[in-house]
Amino acid sequence: MEHILHRARGRDAVSVDPGEVVTWFDRVRRDLPWRRPEVSAWQILVSEFMLQQTPVARVEPIWLAWIARWPTPSATAAAGAADVLRAWGKLGYPRRAKRLHECATVIATHHDDVVPDDVDVLLTLPGVGSYTARAIACFAYQQSVPVVDTNVRRVVARAVHGMADAGAPSAKRDEAEVAALLPDDDSAPRFSAGLMELGALVCTARNPKCGVCPLSECAWRSAGFPPSTAPAKRVQKYAGTDRQVRGRLMDVLRASDTPVTRAQLDVAWLTDTAQRDRALHSLLVDGLVEQTQDGRFALSGEGADAAVGAPSSEARGRTQPLRSQADNTKS
């Protein structure tokens, strides 16, 4: 499959007219709150953390509540880890919340409470990868840098290379391709946002709305919309996964202001006790949950007693018995 993609990319490629993308984006852009001019770089950074693997509709209300409560990095850093995990709610992948809290602490402590504007410096922050660093530089600081997400890769694959899908990602190649499309004027950030919007609203993975596409030239359309030659992607299920079990356990912990007993956690998932133990152990390893000396469990930083915390580095990667209150009565 990879050699087919390389051969397709080697053909004479169609370019994308930045003016068409920017004009279309200015007309139809969604009024997302983190796009408003008064929003700070920190608040844009928060939105980027939340939007990773989570739909816009679920992010918007939680983002609004978050920035009202913690509008700056220092405000977020001053909050307890448990408060941050509660505010994250059911966005999923709560390790993002932990990393966001760590990121806020670094910015407040080492960057005078100001989000850096340099991509290389941004990459040193906890939880900030290549996409997020460039998104902040582009959308918060109006820099002309390539911002590549799944939607952008799909638009480029179709419009430029005539392929139904983009194949396996390659950060270096993908960023170079998008960089080559950027206009040479100050419209580059709007062009970047427009490419993302085009992939999200029109050039979608399934049922693309080609009839309303603003691009006058599209290699995929010119080629007669050839179907994808990639193997069908497996649909990720959620029901019954460790992710679901972790979420159930976190629900119990978020709902309590005090550490909870093992019995209170056990009722959250009765289907598979081994899976429940594995999920709880992984929450301890990730530093999202801690175990108190008396065997109860709490969100990070909220153990009433001295916490046992995450297993040692030697224990990471293997499931170990978790101490229950019954174990404590024997000692």
Q: State which amino acid sits at residue 191.
A: F
CB neighbours of residue 73 within 10 Å: 27
Residues 107 and 115 sit within 8 Å (Cβ to Cβ):
yes
Backbone φ and ψ of 297, nearest 5° = -130, 145
Instruction: State the catalytic residue, choosing from 2, 20, 38, 48.
Output: 48
Q: What is the b/e burial string over 151-189, where b = at least 16 CB atoms within 10 angstroms of the residue's CB?
A: bbbbbbbbbbbbbbbbbeeeeeebbebbeebbbeeebbb
Backbone φ and ψ of 29, nearest 5° = -55, 140
- Does the annotation mark 290 as catalytic? no
Backbone φ and ψ of 307, nearest 5° = -90, 145
**189 vs 1, 145, 182, 196, CA distance in Å?**
33, 8, 9, 11
Catalytic annotation, residues: 48
